[in-house]
Amino acid sequence: MKVSVSTIALSELDVDLLVVPATEEESGDGLEALVASFGDAVVRARSDFSGESGETLIIYPEKGTAKRLLVVGLGESMDVTAERLRQAAAVGAGVAIRTRSETVGIGVPKLDLDGDMASQALVEGFMLGSYRFTRYQTDVSEDDGPQRLVIQTEEQDKLVRRGADRGRIVSEAVCSARDLINMSPNDKKPVLLSRAIEKSGKKNGFEVSVWDKELIEEEGMGGLLAVNMGSQDPPTFNVLEFKPENARNDRPLVLVGKGIVFDTGGLSLKPTKDSMDYMKSDMSGAAAVIGAFEAIAKMDLPIHVVGLIPATDNRPGEQAYVPGDVIKMHSGATVEVLNTDAEGRMVLADALSYAANFSPDIVIDIATLTGSAAVAMGDQAAPVLTTHNSKAAERIEAMVRAGEASGDRVHPLPMYEEYKEQLKSEVADLRNVGGREGGCITAAKFLEHFVDYPWVHVDIAGVAFTHKARPYRPIGGTGFGVRLLVEFMRAYAESKR
């Protein structure tokens, strides 16, 4: 989608659909600016519109150049946040699709929000709201749907431009993560996923190196290899790197993404209904890391970032790892496998122990790790966990702030020492399951065993894939994590000034 910013008056924007977000205060007898620009049609229609959040009013004006006018309610001006603007713009996207509008304008409302924040939110809401996954639909063309978005503003146009650019880059990255998640499992076997990462690296400007099974064996990644045992397809381990000359951090920030391209559960087989049937999304952590790299490379963020993605499917098979197996991990620790469906932590543990080689400033891992995360927080936020020490609050706060600003919301869960007891094994250093209670936390405690640097874990099992359409998250992969990571890294870069 082409995105631009214009300072042309609303009445002179030549678009198929003009979206005007309006607060309750401006509505009712108000909307004066619209009356002036678009004439009596607005006067006749406005009494039907109170400006409540999400309310819509379509007007076919006799004046002005826009074909259609869509007024979208924002609620009371005091309550308007970036998230409200995203949602309002997403409503605009829905109407644009329904009315087959190719060119769409959105007016930046005059509010107590910075111009860059407002325009970024509007672009995100619109682009993410008009996302459709059409790859496998033979009768749907990719060119259906809106093609051009114009953000209209009368002031602050420099800020508005910056926000619109950022919004476009971030949204493109989220959409490419969604594409990867929605893709059929047989199109994203590890080697194919690696090829997609390499292609993205070339296109967007970051380095990619792909390890094959032999190299993974040489490195001793016992966790990744164990999970791969039941598979017909070799695993890959993917190392992404973005290192601009003006990087402000001496030690890299490392992102680790779970890349289970399909999770059957292995011999501890999952039931199909509402469980295995959407486990193509078990590489959503990997997709978030890939999307985040695309965005920071396009934005040229002045920070050194490394990405690590262990990729395999998890299947039952003649050679599949079995409950009772003791696995020697990359770190040298031994793990008693008591459930082959707890595979994510096995592959992440190896990536996390490998991450130490970079002497990282901080490591963030993102993974569809536990059903327990979804039980705890549903689809509105993802649990975020970190080592329980004196710097924990600082790390969590930075993540929560990035979550609030970006709309990919995260919320903390505790990491007290005592939770580790649930991972005690009779035969090995630790076991790979900690029981039903506190499942999201004990999974994080498992990962923590492999970490000796500042680290944050985000469990996106509840938010990565949606079965219910949300304002700007259509059914399927959500791309959750891209906006969170990008916003975190933007703030991180600022903090290193």
Catalytic residues: 270, 345
The one segment of 5-13, 60-68, 190-198, 368-376 that binds ligand BES by CB under 6 A? 368-376
By CB under 5 A, is residue 165 in contact with Zn ion?
no
By CB under 6 A, is residue 372 in contact with ligand BES?
yes
Q: Which residue number, 37 or 372, has a Cβ lying nearer to ligand BES?
A: 372
The one segment of 203-211, 341-349, 443-451, 476-484 that binds Mn ion by CB under 5 A? 341-349
Question: Could you tell which of Zn ion, Mn ion, ligand BES, none binds residue 306, using a CB distance below 5 to 8 A set by kind?
Answer: none
CA dist., res. 476 & res. 128, Å (int): 12
Instruction: Specify the long-range contacts of residues 395-399, CB closer than 8 Å, at least 24 apart.
Output: 395/362, 395/454, 395/456, 396/456, 398/488, 398/491, 398/492, 399/364, 399/456, 399/458, 399/484, 399/488
By CB under 6 A, is residue 263 in contact with ligand BES?
yes
By CB under 6 A, is residue 264 in contact with ligand BES?
no
In angstroms, give the least distance from the CB of 263 to Mn ion.
4
Q: Which residue number, 344 or 474, has a Cβ lying nearer to ligand BES?
A: 344
Question: What is Dmax (Cα atoms) for the chain?
Answer: 80
By CB under 6 A, is residue 461 in contact with ligand BES?
yes
Q: How far apart are the first and last CA of the chain?
A: 33
Determine how β-strand 455-459 pairs with β-strand 362-367.
parallel
Which 323-362 residues touch ligand BES, going by CB under 6 A? 339, 341-344
Q: Which residue number, 61 or 265, has a Cβ lying nearer to ligand BES?
A: 265
By CB under 6 A, is residue 370 in contact with ligand BES?
yes
Q: Is the Cβ–Cβ distance between 225 and 217 less than 8 Å?
A: yes
Q: Is the Cβ–Cβ distance between 336 and 431 less than 8 Å?
A: yes
By CB under 5 A, is residue 341 in contact with Mn ion?
yes
Q: What is the 3-state secondary structure (H, E, C) of 178-190?
A: HHHHHCCHHHCCH
Which 243-282 residues touch Mn ion, going by CB under 5 A? 263
Question: Could you tell which of Mn ion, ligand BES, Zn ion, none binds residue 339, using a CB distance below 5 to 8 A set by kind?
Answer: ligand BES
Which 335-354 residues touch Zn ion, going by CB under 5 A? 344
The one segment of 289-297, 364-372, 420-428, 488-496 that binds ligand BES by CB under 6 A? 364-372
Contact track, Mn ion, 381-410, x by CB under 5 A: ------------------------------
Please provide the DSSP assignment of 291-328 as one string: HHHHHHHHHT-SS-EEEEEEEEEE---TT---TT-EEE
Question: Could you tell which of ligand BES, Mn ion, Zn ion, none binds residue 461, using a CB distance below 5 to 8 A set by kind?
Answer: ligand BES
Please provide the DSSP assignment of 378-406 as one string: TTT-EEEEE-SSTTHHHHHHHHHHHHHHH
Coil vs helix vs strand at 58: strand
User: CA nearest 20: which of 34, 9, 32?
Assistant: 34
**Position with the least CB separation from Zn ion:** 263
In angstroms, give the least distance from the CB of 440 to ligand BES.
8
| Residues forming a β-bridge with 430 | 335
Distance of alpha carbon 280 from the chain centroid = 16
Report the residue from 16, 116, 157, 263 that binds Zn ion according to the rule CB under 5 A. 263
The one segment of 40-48, 217-225, 295-303, 338-346 that binds Mn ion by CB under 5 A? 338-346
Classify each residue of 267-301 as buried b or exposed e, where b means 16 or more C-beta atoms within 10 Å of its C-beta. bbebeeeeebebbbbbbbbbbbbbbbbbbbbbbeb
| Residues forming a β-bridge with 4 | 150
Residue whose token pair is 């680790």 = 256
Number of residues that bind ligand BES (CB under 6 A): 16
CA dist., res. 350 & res. 366, Å (int): 14
In angstroms, give the least distance from the CB of 135 to Mn ion.
26
Question: Could you tell which of Mn ion, Zn ion, ligand BES, none binds residue 396, using a CB distance below 5 to 8 A set by kind?
Answer: none
CA dist., res. 349 & res. 355, Å (int): 10
| Residues forming a β-bridge with 458 | 366, 384
- Helix, strand, coil fractions of the chain, as percent rounded to 5: 40, 20, 40
Contact track, Zn ion, 271-300, x by CB under 5 A: -----------x------------------
Q: Which residue number, 23 or 281, has a Cβ lying nearer to ligand BES?
A: 281
Contact track, ligand BES, 265-284, x by CB under 6 A: -----------------x--
By CB under 6 A, is residue 371 in contact with ligand BES?
yes
In angstroms, give the least distance from the CB of 312 to Zn ion.
11
Element (H, E) at 133: none
What residues make contact with Mn ion under the rule CB under 5 A? 263, 341, 343
Residues in the site for ligand BES, rule: CB under 6 A? 263, 282, 339, 341-344, 368-372, 374, 433, 439, 461
Residues that bind Zn ion (CB under 5 A): 260, 263, 282, 344
